[in-house]
Amino acid sequence: MNQKSTQITDGNWAQEIQNFKGVALLDIWAPWCGPCKVIGPVIEELADEYAGKAKIGKLNADENNKPAELGVSGIPTMIIFKDGQEVDRIVGVAPKQTLVEKLDYYLTAN
């Protein structure tokens, strides 16, 4: 599968999330996490479907310190940011429709 999501790291955090104007969905995951493997393909589908509308990113919890700074205690955790500010958080596997509804809400909310 071609990866369409943006790889987020501690190094590109400011550019890709903190200073991003618009809606971003960040999937915090790890390679050993079973539920992360379940949600991974859904995240890639969203990256394809929301190309040009929202940023869809993935952050490896094992390779970065940002999850601890964000208070992430379980993975997968999906955090939605709007203009660099956290506006929503989903912990655990969520149905694709739930993520779509949340993204659509924040894309149309002022």
The pTM is what?
0.95
Please give the pLDDT value at position 104: 98
Contacts of 8 (CB under 8 A, 6+ apart): 16, 17, 26, 57, 58, 59, 64, 66
Give just the sign of the alpha carbon dihedral 92, 34, 74, 89. Answer: negative
Please give the pLDDT value at position 96: 97
Please give the pLDDT value at position 109: 85
Residues with catalytic roles: 33, 36
**Domains of the chain (ranges, CATH numbers):** 6-108 (3.40.30.10)
Please give the pLDDT value at position 1: 43
| pLDDT at position 3 over 80 | no
- Burial track 71-110 (b if 16+ CB lie within 10 A, e otherwise): ebeebbbbbbbbeeeeebebeeeeeeeebeebbeebeeee
- 50 vs 47: CA distance, rounded Å: 5
pLDDT in tens, 32-89: 999 999 999 999 999 999 999 999 999 999 999 999 999 999 999 999 999 999 999 9
- 56 vs 68: CA distance, rounded Å: 20
